[in-house]
Amino acid sequence: MPSLPVGVRISGLDFDDEATYQVLGEKFPDMFIAGEQPHVLMMSVSDADPISDAIERVRAVQAELPQLRVHGVDRDLVGTTDIAHRAGVSREGARKWTQAEGFPVPFAHIRASSMPVWVWSEVAQWLETVRSVTVDNPLPTLAALSEIESQLVHKSGFNSSPAG
């Protein structure tokens, strides 16, 4: 069954604690931790129902490691240089794409320079659809990532802070 990568921003785990590594390694061998605080818990979820699968998997980890705090999803934001690198084109080529009609709207602007950043899954979809450039395996949509975040962080019934 096809799967999609999803990253969830987390904190609260003691990575100097051998028990944490043991639980992650034995019970969740297909997940890994990336980045700095907050770390990103990376997992593969079902392409058929990525939202339910991601929520179920995060709940399973938190059941084993109740100190885990969930802060949101990692939307894999990219700037023009990242787009150029991932698509194998020049920065100028990527810059021109970002100005093309129909290119995804920036997700946010960073710093005083107002540098735009985009959600990589939206850019990858645009590149494949409009430019016939395949740059990645299937990715979850921005709507799916937003719904996962909404259910993990904002809706009642899921504790995004440590159990206690």
pLDDT surpasses 80 at 12: yes
CB 10 within 8 A of CB 71: yes
Q: What is the mean pLDDT of the chain?
A: 90
The CATH architecture annotation of domain 3-75+140-154 reads 2-Layer Sandwich (3.30)
Percentage, residues of the chain above pLDDT 70 = 93
What is the pTM (predicted TM-score) of this model? 0.83
pLDDT score of 15: 82
What are the pLDDT digits (tens) for 124-157?
999 999 999 988 778 899 999 999 999 998 764 4
For the chain, where do the domains classified as CATH 3.30.70 start and end?
3-75+140-154
77-131 carries CATH number 1.20.120: no
Provide the CA 43 distance to its chain's centre, in angstroms: 9
